[in-house]
A and B are shown apart, each in its own frame.
Chain A
């Protein structure tokens, strides 16, 4: 319910991300233009000017992510955004931030790949997002919105989770959600005191000097540090799995999809149900941590699982890992910037019933 004090605005997905960052108290944005997220960079340049924050249009995504690294090391809530080719360039910095345990938010308004690909919306950066897109044993927290409201809400959440776990957090979305306009309830800024950062580089007044680094020349120390990271990821996996069950009660066929594809699947589920077909949707909201136990639970008694993605099949691997041979898993996807359509999802479902 929208209360009287809540403002509802018509916003583009990209702008909702930007406003979410402002609400979360982010005052340092660094970015480089790329379609289909240009509205976000432009929005941040305007908003940062309004509030006296920092906006830098950097010379590259490499520069942008490393400015984020510096601002995060200095203790600020910092953010960058880009689309697939730009996110590839940022992987070096993201790996460093994972190793330095620096919190920051990175938004990928993904488009078709590989290479320059297309500017159409895509979900083909899933592997890059959830494994460890750069070098080394690490994970980013990954959130996948599927509405413009969630573009705002998950950006706010991404800042909170990043700070809580001292870890980079990714909002993985796509060009369609970025460009789409929907009414959004403007959230209120969190009134709680910002989290303490007793590691931040502020100048060593009244304390000993601090260092932020990822280098461990002693191999055993490095291994021990990697184990600490693994323990952190286990804690994150324990506490932060998020997912949505949509009309899964009594379902015979379970669709599994995230982000914009999940939204299209919802329409398919509603149609199927109105035709008396027992179809439901399981939507992972966090892609790392992946809601594996919840998916296993949801797939109990299911006759067939259909994974729907705007890629040639990436998340489907995690679904197969989760479900093993307990239930047949098939895949339907479009790629190259093409969007999955309800009719095709329904046709696939037809074969499985």
Chain B
């Protein structure tokens, strides 16, 4: 009998602790599949964030380093400079990357650091109980915006990927989502291209992935997927934001 679906070698068999409907598990699996397909498991090093994915080393079947909250790309930088032949990626939530680690991600991108950031944007701080993140939408209710996010009090949802695309050091910046099978397949292609960008030495790469946190959004997983499709993607449009391998305008 032919096996059509199996656990990627880059994944351990440990059951995941993520809540049902959480996007993290899907993103983990996509990363593992891509690493298997590229045949680079034995030279991959992941830097895990502080956030719900803090124990990523329990799931990834390759080397993983813990980093202080938001310093993830700095730790990845240190590792990459020691082992330039390795694939080094940071895995970060929106609190990790877009709040406490804003300086670190901007300067890593601007240095053209040959690392990849996998940026899971679920619009909230999952691990600490659903507080506002910099990416939280206006009017979105969270544990720290009870009446909904008010721009006058708490500013605006930040488009950090677009900001990073402006730095000359970034080579590939893209936004995908994991709310539907079609988008999951697309997100996988984005991750593959981002890793390839790093392996080809083109510059810094980042894949933002819109992801659900049903527990803190206080809706069901199915409603969460619809919410991403109908609401979140309006604020955070999907697609390639920057790709230096494809000149934007040849005319």
Q: Which residues of A come within 8 Å of B, CB atoms?
A: 28, 30, 54, 56, 58-60, 62-64, 66-76, 78, 92-93, 96, 100, 201-206, 209-215, 217
Q: Quick check: B63 and A203 within 8 Å, CB to CB? A: yes
B41 at the interface (CB under 8 A from A): yes
Q: Quick check: A56 and B81 within 8 Å, CB to CB? A: yes
- Picked from B66, B76, B103, the residue with its CB within 8 Å of the CB of A96 is B66
Q: Quick check: B104 and A201 within 8 Å, CB to CB? A: no
- Picked from B47, B61, B104, the residue with its CB within 8 Å of the CB of A59 is B104
A39 CB, min distance to chain B CBs, angstroms: 23
Query: Complex: how many Å from CA A64 to CA B81?
Result: 13
B231 CB, min distance to chain A CBs, angstroms: 34
A199 CB, min distance to chain B CBs, angstroms: 10
Q: Quick check: A69 and B75 within 8 Å, CB to CB? A: yes
Q: Quick check: A215 and B66 within 8 Å, CB to CB? A: yes
- Picked from B43, B45, B66, B107, the residue with its CB within 8 Å of the CB of A58 is B107
Contacts of A54 in B (CB 8 A): 81-82
Smallest CB-CB separation from A55: which chain B residue?
B81
A166 CB, min distance to chain B CBs, angstroms: 15
A-B pairs with beta carbons under 8 Å apart, 24 shown: A30-B78, A56-B77, A60-B103, A62-B104, A63-B104, A69-B67, A69-B71, A70-B67, A70-B76, A70-B78, A70-B80, A71-B79, A71-B82, A72-B78, A73-B78, A74-B79, A93-B68, A96-B67, A201-B63, A204-B61, A209-B12, A211-B57, A212-B66, A213-B57
Q: Quick check: B54 and A210 within 8 Å, CB to CB? A: no
B60 at the interface (CB under 8 A from A): yes
Contacts of B45 in A (CB 8 A): 74, 201-203
- Picked from B64, B75, B80, B111, the residue with its CB within 8 Å of the CB of A211 is B64
Q: Quick check: B78 and A209 within 8 Å, CB to CB? A: no
A216 CB, min distance to chain B CBs, angstroms: 11
Query: Complex: how many Å from CA A209 to CA B64?
Result: 8
In this complex, which of B66, B76, B81, B103 has the most chain A Cβ atoms within 10 angstroms of its Cβ?
B81
A71-B79, A211-B64, A211-B66 known; 17 new pairs, CB 8 Å cut-off, are: A56-B111, A60-B103, A62-B71, A63-B104, A66-B68, A66-B78, A67-B77, A68-B78, A70-B81, A74-B83, A92-B68, A93-B68, A93-B71, A201-B45, A202-B86, A203-B44, A212-B66
Give me the 5 closest cross-chain CB pairs, A-B, nearest first: A70-B78, A66-B74, A74-B82, A211-B57, A66-B71
- Picked from A66, A68, A204, the residue with its CB within 8 Å of the CB of B42 is A204
- Interface residue tally on B, bucketed by range: 35 or more
Q: Quick check: A215 and B54 within 8 Å, CB to CB? A: yes
B199 at the interface (CB under 8 A from A): no
B250 CB, min distance to chain A CBs, angstroms: 35
A92 CB, min distance to chain B CBs, angstroms: 5
B65 at the interface (CB under 8 A from A): yes
In this complex, which of B57, B75, B103, B107 has the most chain A Cβ atoms within 10 angstroms of its Cβ?
B75
Query: Complex: how many Å from CA A350 to CA B51?
Result: 61
Query: Complex: how many Å from CA A28 to CA B77?
Result: 11
Q: Quick check: B75 and A73 within 8 Å, CB to CB? A: yes
Query: Complex: how many Å from CA A78 to CA B75?
Result: 12
Q: Quick check: A63 and B42 within 8 Å, CB to CB? A: no
- Picked from B47, B54, B78, the residue with its CB within 8 Å of the CB of A28 is B78
Q: Quick check: A201 and B79 within 8 Å, CB to CB? A: yes
Q: Quick check: B57 and A209 within 8 Å, CB to CB? A: yes
- Picked from A28, A30, A63, A72, the residue with its CB within 8 Å of the CB of B103 is A63
Contacts of B55 in A (CB 8 A): 215, 217
Query: Complex: how many Å from CA A78 to CA B71?
Result: 17
Q: Quick check: A70 and B57 within 8 Å, CB to CB? A: no
Query: Complex: how many Å from CA A198 to CA B115?
Result: 24
Contacts of B12 in A (CB 8 A): 209
Contacts of A205 in B (CB 8 A): 42-43
Contact with A along B77-105 (1 / 0, CB 8 A): 11111110010000000000000000110
Q: Quick check: A201 and B41 within 8 Å, CB to CB? A: no
Query: Complex: how many Å from CA A28 to CA B86?
Result: 17
Query: Complex: how many Å from CA A348 to CA B64?
Result: 57
A338 CB, min distance to chain B CBs, angstroms: 35
Contacts of A60 in B (CB 8 A): 103
Contacts of A206 in B (CB 8 A): 42
B62 at the interface (CB under 8 A from A): yes
Query: Complex: how many Å from CA A21 to CA B184?
Result: 48
A69 CB, min distance to chain B CBs, angstroms: 5
Q: Quick check: A59 and B107 within 8 Å, CB to CB? A: yes
Query: Complex: how many Å from CA A214 to CA B69?
Result: 13
A65 CB, min distance to chain B CBs, angstroms: 8
Query: Complex: how many Å from CA A209 to CA B61?
Result: 6
Given contacts A56-B77, A71-B78, A203-B43, contact A66 B66 (CB under 8 A): no
Contacts of B42 in A (CB 8 A): 203-206
B214 CB, min distance to chain A CBs, angstroms: 23
Smallest CB-CB separation from B50: which chain A residue?
A215
Q: Quick check: A70 and B63 within 8 Å, CB to CB? A: no
In this complex, which of A71, A74, A78, A202 has the most chain B Cβ atoms within 10 angstroms of its Cβ?
A74
Query: Complex: how many Å from CA A54 to CA B47?
Result: 20
B9 CB, min distance to chain A CBs, angstroms: 11
Query: Complex: how many Å from CA A69 to CA B74?
Result: 8
